[in-house]
Structure 1
Amino acid sequence: MKKLILTTLLLTGIFISMVAQRIEPNYDESKVPVYELPPLLVSAKGKQIKSIKQWESIRRPEILEMFSSQMFGKTPGSPFTTSYEVVSVDANALDGKATCKQLRISFSNGNTVRSMLMLIYLPNHIKGKVPLFFAYNFDGNQTVSTDSGILFSNHTSENKRGLKVRRWPIEMIISKGYGVATACYHDIFYDEKDKHAESILPLLGYDPGQSLEGDSWQAIGAWAWGMSRAMDYFETDSRIDAKRIALMGHSRHGKAALWAGAQDQRFAIVISNESGCGGAALSKRAYGETVAVITNSFPHWFCPDFSRFANNEQSLPFDQHELIALIAPRPVYVASAVDDRWADPKGEYLSAFHAGEVYRLYGYEGLPSEEMPALNTPVISRVGYHIRTGVHDVTDFDWQCYLNFADKWMK
């Protein structure tokens, strides 16, 4: 019931916003505008990109800069220090199947301190270093388990304990020989438009009294930054194989995961679960959620300049197939749900398909056809994809596909 109420409130808010702007979502393929995707392997100066060296030295930096300056914002380079405090260790979690560790990761610039509370489960039946999945949660670490010992940040509450257990099949992940770690994304940037001063932005030079520049970093950029800080920790943990970290994100977290994976090449696998507009879905299709809707409903997610493309997607000098291509040659997986039309499953698939051009440059197979696969039939080439039955969610089927994908590329 709580989930239904929260989902209803969110959708009602978006609907009211759309009505105010007289925006009606397009769910008709015949009304998708004619569009032309920016070429992946042609430089800004018109040079054909024919080698890995040219991609990595010329075209990849160009695409990275476009997303940085015109969509997600430029990541600040301000100095900060990091410290790790182990809060608790339970070597007999999940009836002895796992070790559960909780730690607080703190960031300081000498004046401002922010922290992220991380929850980690590691399989006890694996000796030595283990590969691991990392993903944010939406409402606090206590939502992924009913364990009363799991702590949570002060922006959430006890009554949410166990609320999202069904999205986190921790025992299934552990049984396959993988660890799983999570942190609440609110610890990095509380997901409301007026929370900049409470986020990690002041730590990195943001002055709450100043207006944001057009290419200023906001929430998605900050969440991606937090994912990389989690990776910093994994590199210090003797039980975790930091060279085999799979980064997974659902919905808005999927947008952040793609951006984190594009910037930080330490992530071995990047997984987008129904990330939609601003994530895996092609913007130029203007299907379901559009740039106009997302920048109006969530103005704090992207850099301010991204709103220039509201109702003007055809003028975008980039599109999301290029974001996915930035992850190459590392394995990437995009997942959709057939009833999640808002996230544009076809647009997500086409984005992943067209990114395959860069994977082929590296000698890997992308998705085999421009036609989407059948329902519940995953493709696990170097670019993975599935569309399952159901709605916008994370299910056991999704996780089983991700585990199989990781088995293929990380073991």
Structure 2
Amino acid sequence: MKPFSAAVLLIISSINSISAQSCPAFPIGPGPSSQYLPNPFIFQNGDPIDSLDDWACRQREMSHQLQTYELGTLPPKPSSVSGSWSGNSLTINVSEGGKSISFSVSINKPGGTNVPAIIAFGFASIPVPSNVATITFDNNLIAQQDGQGSRGRGKFYDLYGSGHSAGALTAWAWGVARIIDALESTPAVGIDPTRVGVTGCSRNGKGAMVAGALEQRIVLTLPQESGAGGSACWRIGNWQKQQGQNVQTASQIVQENVWFSPAFNSHVNNINSLPFDHHMVAGLVAPRALYVMENADMEWLGWTATYGCMGAARKQWEALDALDSFGYSQVGGNSHCSFPSSKQGTELAAFINKFLLKTCSGNTKIFRTEKNHGSFNPDTWAGWDVPVLA
């Protein structure tokens, strides 16, 4: 049984097959400023999105904008990627431009072959079923995140140079892509590379969100409590700050760590000038599956910024007739990065069952919060008309 409908599979095929030459040229400059969330259904030049091919091109444009102004450039697949499997360890060997690196991931998998897997940044903070493999990815090895002094350190930068524009989040997404490359070329591992998910919590949740956005082969993206820099929109976070709430903003986050490109530093005090926000990071996943888990008790994560941002993001799945592939669940009563099984366990299981195990059991059309956001209305920030693209 296929996890996606025929219509969604057609959209994914269209996105993957359209050539760059058939899309409009990428814009020069960030375009007009806006205090509200930019419209993903309009090209930056003002032309509307009214077909699947348009959407495929718009996603390319949004990715270009994000890589230019916030994330840094994602390099293409290196000239050589290979894998070797021994015990429970998969070693990935990469060569490019006369330089070589290698790194390993540990894999805990059930018996048999052709099983699905979830790549966990750092460690799996969510329960992974016994019939799904867990791939533990030491993302810090690829790009360090130990404060400002760790900029340009890690195996990604050993390969591409310490001055590369990619922030750690982009470097980690590159690392995830290389893991999938190695799974494809090393069938002895016994994992189906067409059924791979990715997860992480907090800073690693930001990594999971960006990996899902930049790597099209990821079937299921599961960011947990990613907050600012993940599922929260910068503009709404700034609004929360103006209301007197203690929420992480873009101007603060770039002082904390090196998750973003140095190019982002010159924009953090004027977020409204950017042609994107993080509803469009999520939109790069559409119509593939995304289940966002957030904490209703953590002000710092931007409890309203994630709710409003993902409410806006959801419209992109709506336009593609793929709301069964989108979930946002904001609950309270749990400490940071502890999974509230009694509240989100059934939802998570439904997403894993449908998109990795292909059993299609359970509800995956979810948008809910336990937080009282008062008079806040996501449509105030995202009052666009939603086209019918599917």
Which letter maps to 2:108? Y
Query: Per the alignment, do residues 315 and 391 of structure 1 end up closer, same or farther by CA in structure 2, a change over 3 Å counting?
Result: farther
Which of 344, 347, 353 is the matching residue for 1:401? 347
Deviation at 1:78, TM superposition (A): 7.8
Which letter maps to 2:180? M
TM-superposition CA deviations, 1:289-347 (whole Å, max 9, x none): 0001101111x221112112223222222111111111111011111112222111222
Residue in structure 2 matched with residue 205 of structure 1 by the alignment = 160
2:222 matched to 1:271?
A: yes
Residue in structure 1 matched with residue 102 of structure 2 by the alignment = 115
Separation in 2 of the partners of 1:78 and 1:120? 23
2:9 matched to 1:51?
A: no
2:349 matched to 1:391?
A: no
Separation in 1 of the partners of 2:317 and 2:72? 26
User: Structure 2: which 5+ runs fail to align?
Assistant: 1-33, 241-246, 359-390
2:120 matched to 1:135?
A: yes
2:180 matched to 1:231?
A: yes
Query: Per the alignment, do residues 119 and 219 of structure 1 end up closer, same or farther by CA in structure 2, a change over 3 Å counting?
Result: same
SS at match of 1:194: helix
User: Structure 1: which 5+ runs fail to align?
Assistant: 1-33, 89-100, 139-143, 145-166, 366-380
Tell me if structure 2 keeps the 8 A contact 1:77–1:204.
no
2:278 matched to 1:327?
A: no
Query: Per the alignment, do residues 79 and 179 of structure 1 end up closer, same or farther by CA in structure 2, a change over 3 Å counting?
Result: closer
Which of 290, 297, 316 is the matching residue for 2:256? 297
Query: Per the alignment, do residues 197 and 102 of structure 1 end up closer, same or farther by CA in structure 2, a change over 3 Å counting?
Result: same
TM-superposition CA deviations, 1:114-139 (whole Å, max 9, x none): 33221111123xx441111111116x
- Aligned length in residues: 310
Deviation at 1:80, TM superposition (A): 4.5
Tell me if structure 1 keeps the 8 A contact 2:143–2:157.
no
Separation in 2 of the partners of 1:252 and 1:80? 30
Let me know the Cα RMSD of the aligned residues. Answer: 2.3
Query: Per the alignment, do residues 73 and 348 of structure 1 end up closer, same or farther by CA in structure 2, a change over 3 Å counting?
Result: same
Residue in structure 1 matched with residue 13 of structure 2 by the alignment = none
2:138 matched to 1:184?
A: yes
TM-superposition CA deviations, 1:30-81 (whole Å, max 9, x none): xxxx941101101111111122121112x21211111010000012348453
Separation in 2 of the partners of 1:314 and 1:110? 38
SS at match of 2:275: coil
TM-superposition CA deviations, 1:262-291 (whole Å, max 9, x none): 222111111111111111101001241000
Separation in 2 of the partners of 1:361 and 1:182? 35
Query: Per the alignment, do residues 257 and 122 of structure 1 end up closer, same or farther by CA in structure 2, a change over 3 Å counting?
Result: same
Residue in structure 2 matched with residue 3 of structure 1 by the alignment = none
Tell me if structure 2 keeps the 8 A contact 1:334–1:349.
no
Separation in 2 of the partners of 1:112 and 1:197? 16
Residue in structure 1 matched with residue 299 of structure 2 by the alignment = 341
Separation in 2 of the partners of 1:275 and 1:335? 8
Tell me if structure 2 keeps the 8 A contact 1:108–1:114.
yes
Query: Per the alignment, do residues 324 and 168 of structure 1 end up closer, same or farther by CA in structure 2, a change over 3 Å counting?
Result: closer
TM-superposition CA deviations, 1:342-380 (whole Å, max 9, x none): 111222122222122221222122xxxxxxxxxxxxxxx
Tell me if structure 2 keeps the 8 A contact 1:188–1:223.
yes
Tell me if structure 2 keeps the 8 A contact 1:64–1:326.
yes
Identity %: 28
TM-score (norm 1): 0.70
Query: Per the alignment, do residues 108 and 195 of structure 1 end up closer, same or farther by CA in structure 2, a change over 3 Å counting?
Result: farther
Residue in structure 2 matched with residue 310 of structure 1 by the alignment = 268
Which letter maps to 2:82? S
Tell me if structure 1 keeps the 8 A contact 2:205–2:230.
yes
Which letter maps to 2:121? Y
Residue in structure 2 matched with residue 82 of structure 1 by the alignment = 81
Deviation at 1:400, TM superposition (A): 5.3
Tell me if structure 2 keeps the 8 A contact 1:273–1:336.
yes
Deviation at 1:187, TM superposition (A): 1.5
Deviation at 1:203, TM superposition (A): 4.1
Query: Per the alignment, do residues 399 and 49 of structure 1 end up closer, same or farther by CA in structure 2, a change over 3 Å counting?
Result: same
